[in-house]
Amino acid sequence: MRIVPILTAIFVSAIIFLLVFQRDFIGETMAGIMGNSEETSDTAEQTPSTDAAETADDDDASNPNPENRISIVAYTSTARGIDSAVIVRGETEAARQVNLLSETSGTVISQPLRRGAFVTTGQEMCTLDPGTREASLAEAQARLAEARARVPEAQARVIEAEARLQEALINDRAAERLSQDGFASDTRVASATAATQAARAGVEAAQSGLESSRAGIESAAAAVAAAEREIGKLTIKASFDGILETDTAELGSLLQPGGLCATVIQLDPIKLVGFVPEVDVDRVKLGAAAGARLVNGREVTGEVAFVSRSADQTTRTFRVEVEVPNADLTIRDGQTVDMIIQAEGTRAHLLPGSALTLDDQGTMGVRIVDENTNAAFRPVTLLRDTIEGVWVSGLPDPVDVIVVGQEYVTDGVPVHVTYRKD
């Protein structure tokens, strides 16, 4: 039997016992040994640090802070004038768009123009087969000539009737004088009077015939105008310079009244359309400068051309249109755009965003240092968020804004201010 492994196991067990169950005793023993070795040096030395600590404690006791102020960091801000703006998201819209529709029926006899083509004012888009319309025009013109030829004959009849009336009046006056002198009978006088009345009736009939002839001229002229207008409807023309958005009607197709010939849009200038909330609509003025950025990053500028006076019934917003030059036609209809519309400037403070806080009611604002060196809450209106900070309004000028420690003070709490430099 080997004795060494047994002795080793006993020794290890003893050490484990001492470390686990007698560790407090071992610690006290070691502390006593170390304390005896350092006692002499601790007693002999008088360190400067101990004296300084005692001096500092004495100073704190002799100079207490009776006001118990909370230390904060503040920044003195001065208001500056900035350009205010209304930010709107919208889309581009063609300045004008029209669907060229047929006003009559007929077969298309013109070659079609393809979409994307540039057209000018008055350019023919579609031409329809005239059919019998030219014959109808010729017939109406012949009737007009016939009606005009009847007028001289009617005028001659009026002149003849008026002459007969004058003759009858002379005979009537002569018979009446002879009757007064006793040289003519009453029968002759009555006959002369009847002849005069018949002559007047003849004049009225002749004048009626003249008026009828003139009415015939007007009717024939109206028929000619209607025939000419019907022929004019056979050619459908562009109403303004623009671009064809659709092909024109195909050759041989039949167009009925209201049938689509083509769609023309005008992109220069182009409109940027957005809807402004009612709280900001009064800030948007006609002629105000506006800038916009398209989704592709392109930036353009223009002027406000229209501000609606009637709100959208669903969104309670107002339509605003900005006109932008587009001579190269690179801006298309229907693109998304972010607009910034210039509004009346205002004075505001530029503060770090971390200075903003909320009061107990959830109102956004900042805490400032008042004239009594106490903390006070002031609500603000956020105007713009930039890389340098946030622009806010609603503060006095100048003002000491707490930028560090504002979350640890409330209204009326005394503060010890350390001012931050720019």
Among 299, 332, 297, residue whose Cα is nearest residue 95: 332
Euclidean distance between CA atoms 209 and 214, whole angstroms? 9
pTM of the model: 0.55
Buried b (16+ CB within 10 A) or exposed e, 352-378: eeebbeeeeeeeebbbbbbeeebbbbb
Euclidean distance between CA atoms 249 and 241, whole angstroms? 19
For residue 36, the Cα-to-chain-centroid distance in whole angstroms is: 90
Per-residue pLDDT tens listing for the chain (422 residues): 467 677 777 777 777 766 655 666 566 665 555 554 444 444 334 433 334 334 334 444 333 444 578 888 998 998 888 777 888 999 999 999 999 999 999 999 999 999 999 999 999 999 999 989 999 999 999 988 888 888 888 888 888 888 888 887 887 777 777 777 666 666 766 777 787 888 788 888 888 888 888 888 898 899 999 999 999 999 999 999 999 999 999 999 999 999 999 999 999 999 999 999 988 888 899 999 999 999 999 999 999 999 999 999 899 999 999 999 999 989 999 999 999 998 877 788 999 988 999 988 889 999 999 988 899 999 998 887 888 899 888 899 899 999 998 888 888 889 998 888 76
Euclidean distance between CA atoms 196 and 174, whole angstroms? 12
For residue 347, the Cα-to-chain-centroid distance in whole angstroms is: 26
Identify whether the C-beta of residue 155 lies closer than 8 Å to the C-beta of residue 210.
yes
